[in-house]
Amino acid sequence: MENNQIKNESITRQEDDFAQWYTDVCKKAELMDYSSVKGFIIYRPYGYAIWELIQEYLNKRFKETGHQNVYMPTVIPTSLLQKEKDHVEGFAPECLVATEGGGNKIEDPLIIRPTSEALFSEHYSKITKSYRDLPKLYNQWCSVLRWEKTTRPFLRGAEFLWQEGHTIHETEEEARTETLKMLEIYDDLGRDLLAIPFVKGRKTDKEKFAGALETYTIEALMPDGKALQSGTSHYFGQGFAQAFGIQYLGRDGKLAYPHQTSWGVSTRLIGAVIMAHGDDNGLSLPPKIAPIQTVIIPIAAQKPGVIPACREIEKRLKDIGVRVSLDESDKSAGWKFSEYEMKGVPLRIELGPRDMENGVVTVAKRHNGEKVSLKNEELEKAIPELLEEIQKEMYQKALGYLLKHVSEVHNLDEFDGAMKLGGFAKMMWCGEEACENKIKERFVATARCMPFNQIPFGDTCPVCGKKAKKVVLFAKAY
Amino acid sequence: MENNQIKNESITRQEDDFAQWYTDVCKKAELMDYSSVKGFIIYRPYGYAIWELIQEYLNKRFKETGHQNVYMPTVIPTSLLQKEKDHVEGFAPECLVATEGGGNKIEDPLIIRPTSEALFSEHYSKITKSYRDLPKLYNQWCSVLRWEKTTRPFLRGAEFLWQEGHTIHETEEEARTETLKMLEIYDDLGRDLLAIPFVKGRKTDKEKFAGALETYTIEALMPDGKALQSGTSHYFGQGFAQAFGIQYLGRDGKLAYPHQTSWGVSTRLIGAVIMAHGDDNGLSLPPKIAPIQTVIIPIAAQKPGVIPACREIEKRLKDIGVRVSLDESDKSAGWKFSEYEMKGVPLRIELGPRDMENGVVTVAKRHNGEKVSLKNEELEKAIPELLEEIQKEMYQKALGYLLKHVSEVHNLDEFDGAMKLGGFAKMMWCGEEACENKIKERFVATARCMPFNQIPFGDTCPVCGKKAKKVVLFAKAY
């Protein structure tokens, strides 16, 4: 019996309206709720628990690589944000501004942080004296505010949770190494935890971060054929250091400006997971990122011995570190099946009187609907193995989809075809912003990145016919 | 040799100016820095790491007791905050208000959260339908903003980090139990982690939280004789539920309002730790809350074998879970001694060529300046034992100080004496706010709490001479 075939009726089907399906899942899986202020969402326990697992993974990786957590103010004086010209131009249009404190007007209005380069730079200027003080490898977990016109849960919000790393280094080489090292950690996060393969590469100048010399990105491909920028890492050169006066006494006894980076991922990753793996029954979570990895559902729970047997399995699995939950509520087994499918719990263990007689349990896999019968006594071995296997299968499936949706295009007709198929159009590009603009005008697609793997497959830019310089991946994007 | 006798010259002495000593330690131990906006501080890595250890302890305790983390918006519409009358009156004077978003005026100005009762209550009103939905046991880690006139690092700030628990329950009894259960967890935190004994009790009506029926508190006593409110837990009754329309269908089929609580501790606890244990050499951290529990300092580091021997000890201690750090920098041993004393690292291991010959290390205890010689081969056993011992000694010392500074007073002369001694004046009180006001006027002392341990020791209130109803602890307070 393929339980997966009983589609959950309470949400829109993906093929009917993917955007509505997404919103339905966000709400029905109880990941979030709307607040009374447009664009500000409530991260409900189940959604927040996913974020906590991401935090745990990244905190460990960040600390292993020598980073330290700090906390900067929520507010940035307008005059401070204005110190770096490109930066303020990029962020000013979407700032929330506080003008009144304790009933009095604030002379230098306070911007609620949209990002914290200005705050870190100012602090670094005060605590950096000598090359001995370098590098500074700081990270901050916080929320940031951006007054966006169009918002969607997790994907684009007036407020979202993120981490922002900010580092300064003695040499350009060290800073560049840092920029790419952190991108690799994000890539690992995708593969190891989220079961999402990212395309890595560098942003074009048009798409880079306000104030950065270079921006690197991880891009995920969603099932509707659109790309999702999932994290970025920036090399700033000495621009912020000069604007904010960060200087240190070098080994040669001369004053110098350090080289700076910043990098971040956000709760947008939750949106990526929802879309990358979900289906018409709701959310489907890779085990590593699942707050509940295995749910136990008693069958004919009123029969003697069923609940104690379920509790025993719960305890055994908890003891070996599986995130397990037993649902003892008086709701029907059918209701529970569909509830935990909606919540994307990777494994469901069913246990009833007949299973008990036979010394087995029935195990259903959320990601493909398969059911297997396992010997009760072997669960400590079998469940962790199944979870590992599911994690791999979900990654492989997402990788297969990505690989099928990167189309090499040699002309604009092929570009059109690639857009119709969905996914990335891989194109040779001359390097001119004018050509990016033409692509955007005609196809509503943007340059997602110049992938690290630069293998030219043509000589001319299909837009202008001039000499091509770079391989670029274009796509429609979130 | 009592290394403790070499006083650190770079900070003010406690007896000269306790407040200046405190600020000096905050800065010199690199716990915080000032930002360019008054009252907003930067939580530097060393200070933030202390907060992370508090978070880790509390998160574990909260989750064990069934609580779930969530994240609510940073902003509260003015109209929403106004729904509970007492609450808004309490907080309105210290609100930071955003009036402009994306260049446009905001019709219903947004208050940057000073606390989140309004947000939780609104959310609860949307997700609570039936008694089956209760209890809701939510907690949030975030920062809150209060536009304070007088600010001091960690103790009173325009922004501070905290956790705020918000719960709703079916019955009054359950909510009251929750309120006291969370106060107990805070008390455990004090004893187990911070080595600070708290006095527990209930606030008088004059001192309770805006909107609460009852407020419970943990109060610590600082070496300058002033009390520091270190955490609170509130029972709200059904007030917020009625104001925000939180209703559920009860077991009897009738609509009812749930009973509500909230409770919180903040980075103020870092201030408590600094003052409770610090001395003229700087910070002195109890091992459980120390980001670095043991620092290893090589003596004559250039001599062959010293650094490798230090690294070996570092590895051995790390392997058994000690938070250990080896300082290999080319600074002098003397400089390092005073640096790690300033930072309050509980144990310092010194290792030089002579120690190596003898198979020993020299270990210095920060909290009392004692030095002992330990066999190198026994460090895995000896260091954790020493850390345990120091934790207990620091708690006992703080407890001894507290017990000596609770004075039973039977008249206002004795009250005056108690204030001169410093600490708590324990007084029988009639229950009238007028008498609290008179005490405040004359002694600048406030009712810190009515301790749980209510053993009457008199019949009349020394202020008005009327019948006494409660034992109250008064003190000057932060």
pLDDT tens, position by position, A90-125: 888 899 999 999 999 999 999 999 999 999 999 999
Query: Residue B110: beta bridge partners?
Result: B77, B98
Give me the residue label for tokens 């950096």. Answer: A128
Q: What is the reported pLDDT for B7?
A: 53
With 0-12 / 13-18 / 19 or more C-beta atoms within 10 angstroms meaning exposed / middle / buried, residue A171 is: middle
Do residues A28 and A302 touch, judged by C-beta distance below 8 A? no
- Distance between A440 CA and the closest CA of chain B, angstroms: 25
Q: What is the reported pLDDT for A92?
A: 85
Beta strands per DSSP E along B303-377? 324-326, 347-351, 360-365, 371-375
Do residues B217 and B444 touch, judged by C-beta distance below 8 A? no
Write out chain B residues lying below 8 Å of A149, CB-based: 102
- Collapsing DSSP to helix, strand or coil, B187 comes out as helix
The terminus-to-terminus CA distance of chain B in angstroms comes to 37
Q: What is the reported pLDDT for B2?
A: 39
Report which of A224, A272, A227 is spatially closest to residue A51, judged by C-alpha positions.
A272
Q: Tell me the HSE value of B389 on the side-chain side, using a 13 A CA sphere.
A: 11
- Distance between A296 CA and the closest CA of chain B, angstroms: 19
Q: Encoding tokens for residue B395?
A: 């708690």
User: What distance in Å separates the CA atoms of residue B198 and residue B190, rounded to the nearest whole number?
Assistant: 7
| Measured torsion, CA atoms of residues A351, A356, A361, A362, in degrees rounded to the nearest 10 | -60
Give the model confidence (pLDDT) of A123-159 as tens digits: 999 999 999 999 999 999 999 999 998 999 999 999 9
Q: Find the mean pLDDT for residues A1-21.
A: 75
- Distance between B103 CA and the closest CA of chain A, angstroms: 7
Q: Could you tell me the pLDDT band of residue A1, with boundaries at 50, 70 and 90?
A: very low
Q: What is the reported pLDDT for A9?
A: 66
Give the model confidence (pLDDT) of A356-369 as tens digits: 999 999 999 999 99
Angle between helices A45-64 and A268-277 (to 10 degrees): 110
User: What distance in Å separates the CA atoms of residue B425 and residue B446, rounded to the nearest whole number?
Assistant: 10
- Distance between B67 CA and the closest CA of chain A, angstroms: 9
Report which of A267, A346, A323 is spatially closest to residue A51, judged by C-alpha positions.
A267
A331 touches chain B (CB under 8 A): no
Residue B423 CA: distances (Å) to CA of B278, B428, B448? 18, 16, 11
Give the model confidence (pLDDT) of A324-342 as tens digits: 999 999 899 999 999 999 9
For chain B, 478 residues long, give each residue's pLDDT as a single digit of tens.
334 444 566 899 999 999 999 999 999 999 999 999 999 999 999 999 999 999 999 999 999 999 999 999 999 999 999 998 888 888 888 999 999 999 999 999 999 999 999 999 999 999 999 999 999 999 999 999 999 989 999 999 999 999 999 999 999 999 999 999 999 999 999 999 999 999 999 999 999 998 999 999 999 999 999 999 999 999 999 999 999 999 999 999 999 999 999 999 999 999 999 999 999 999 999 999 999 999 999 999 999 999 999 999 999 999 999 999 999 998 999 999 999 999 999 999 999 999 999 999 999 999 999 999 999 999 999 999 999 999 999 999 999 999 999 999 999 999 999 999 999 999 999 999 999 999 999 999 999 999 998 999 999 999 999 999 999 999 999 9
A141 touches chain B (CB under 8 A): no
Write out chain B residues lying below 8 Å of A36, CB-based: 77, 80, 122
Chain A / chain B CB contacts < 8 angstroms: 152
Kindly state the DSSP code that residue B257 receives in the 8-state scheme: P
Q: What is the reported pLDDT for A86?
A: 86
- Please report the residues numbered 301 through 330 in chain A whose beta carbons come closer than 8 angstroms to any beta carbon of chain B: 329
Q: What is the reported pLDDT for B86?
A: 86
| B interface test, pick of A52, A70, A76 with most B CB neighbours within 10 Å | A70
Which of B36, B98, B119 lies nearest to residue A112, judging by beta carbons?
Answer: B98
Q: What is the reported pLDDT for A7?
A: 53
Q: Which residue of A has its CA nearest to B41?
A: A73
With 0-12 / 13-18 / 19 or more C-beta atoms within 10 angstroms meaning exposed / middle / buried, residue A416 is: middle
pLDDT of A3 strictly over 70: no
Q: Encoding tokens for residue A305?
A: 């011995």
Beta strands per DSSP E along A93-158? 96-101, 104-112, 136-145
pLDDT of A288 strictly over 60: yes
pLDDT of A206 strictly over 90: yes
Q: Which domains does chain A have, with CATH numbers?
A: 3-277 (3.30.930.10), 292-387 (3.40.50.800), 406-475 (3.30.110.30)
pLDDT of A4 strictly over 50: no
Q: What is the ipTM of this complex?
A: 0.95
Q: What is the reported pLDDT for B3?
A: 42
Q: Could you tell me the pLDDT band of residue A88, with boundaries at 50, 70 and 90?
A: confident
